[in-house]
Structures are given as C-alpha cells and as structure tokens.
Structure 1
C-alpha cells in the first residue's frame, strides 16, 4: 500500500491506549508518527523523574499528569491528531464508556491486576474488537526471544517470561521494542492485514 493511501486510512482510525507509562507513551508516539488520526489515552499517574529513562517525557514535564504531557508531545509531532487524554483509573464500570468508538484497544499497563482486569473486561465487552497487549519486557538483551502471538482477536507482544522485579527492571530498549511491537500490530490490524 502506498504511503499516502495508508496514512489516509490511518487518519480515520481511533485507537484506545490504557496506560501512558513506558509502553503506552512510546506506543502512542509511534502511532502518532505513523498517522493514526485519533487517540484515547488513559492513565491516572504523573510524570516522575525515575521513569524518564524509559518513558516518552521530558524533564520539564515532571509532575504533570502523564496523559496531559503525552497529549502535548503528540500535538508537537502532529497538531492534527485528536487526543482524548483522560486522567482516570480504569475499572470494569468505566472501560466501556472510555473506549467506546475505538477501532482497537492497546493494553499498556504495568500492574498485573489492572492488566488482567482490562483484558477480561475488554474481551467480554467487545468479543470482536481487536485487543493488543504486552507480557514480558523486563531486563536487557535476548531480543530474539521477543515475539507476537495471536489468539482470536487478542495479540500479545513480549517474551512471556520476564516479569519486572528488582533484579530485572524495565529498561528503555526492551520497553521501547515491545511498545513498538504493539504499535506495529495495531497498524497491521488497522490497515486490514491481521
């Protein structure tokens, strides 16, 4: 597909992103650069200095709500993108309203319980809508161990084994790779290639 044609298709798409940390912020930036026309980004947290090593924020954004800072960054990339930035903790009773109208949903949460809640709720709410998620991105090296698995309308990106811990922290290269795997999977789906 020609570049202008795929950008024209992407301009009409709306993507929901649950989480604006390392995965969500990097994924959102890639989707914006690719030409997705509308993003719904949800997170309740603020930009913090210790996380700048892997998140798509800047020093002058410390203390700002992540979704506000990310919306500003995305608008600097492309002022024509519609960004619905919501400072909100996701729960089973608000997921349907928050992500209604999205063509697909990207899970980019770092809390295992929140991740499970979102996946369970989204798959029950929208049995035919695509959901892109991540599992296993901690540490460094072994990029060949990263993969993308599809099961029905669920795509999961990561190594499926490296949980974040004190000895295996999230580090920019692997976090960014998995975030971009999520973005790439989303683009493939949005352009009809899934």
Structure 2
C-alpha cells in the first residue's frame, strides 16, 4: 500500500478525531481520494497528499506554493505530513467541505443526472466520482483528462462541456461558444 496514503489516513483520523473505519480511501484520477462518510477531504496523488479547500477567504494555512490547481473557489493544496500545521489544514479543509455541502443542497448522484449519456456515467463510475460535489471539487478539465488517461484517448468533447456545466450548477447541455472554445483550449493543450 502507498506509504503516503497510510500516513495521510492516520493524520486525517488524528486531526478530525474520528474512528479509523470512518475514513475511506477510494481509487480515482490517478491516485486516491480520502473521504469521511460522503465528504471528500483530499487526494493522494504522485506521492503527495493534497487537501481540498473550498473558500474564497484567504487563510494563512494555505500558500500559493502549495497550490496544485484552482477550480473556481476550490483549491487543491499540498500538505506536508510532517508539518505542525498539517492537522489544522485538514480541519480547515474538512470544515470548508461541510460548508460547501450545506450551502449546496443540490448535490446529486451522477447516476441520476438526466442530461449526461451512459458513456460519461460509466467513465465517472470508473473514476469513483459519485456525485456533483466530487465533480466540483476535482473540476471538469481534471476529470476529462483523467478519462483520457484511463481509456487512452479523449472521450467526446461534449463530456467536457457537460462536466463543466455540472461544476457550475448548470444542469443542461447548453454551453456558450466562448466557453466551449476556452474549455477545449485548456483541456486539449
């Protein structure tokens, strides 16, 4: 088993003071997501532990040098497991995830989304992406590229547009031409 994953799980258990059976590691997007019940706390990818911090509020716990990528107001930050502030980062990330869930009661299971096709539903299942909050946390481009990595080629570009709409609470297949161009440029570069 991945040593960073084990250390990250132990750190999450200690930081959130939960039973070890409540933390789940699920294979996804080239690594593992760490979940407490239905709440994604972070990712272990390429031997690094990242927490997802959903907030436009600045925090001295999180620095630009730790940032992996930005998805609207959700940021993925690298956590040094040995750092004294690692537990505080986990608590802040978990609390921000709970706030996002409470603010967004529209969370839906991907199996219930009517405007996506069975092929995209299958890919999301393969990546262990279970609901709209997972899509928002990871971002449309990261998921689209993970699908490409898993299957060896890009899926329909319409899948990228659907994922982007979901990440912006737009539950339809409509997307502006400008947004299509911008997404395509980012995802295919």
Give me the TM-score of the superposition, normalised by structure 2: 0.29
| Higher-Rg member (1/2) | 2
> How high is the TM-score relative to the length of structure 1?
0.28
Higher relative contact order (CA 8 A, sep 6+): 1
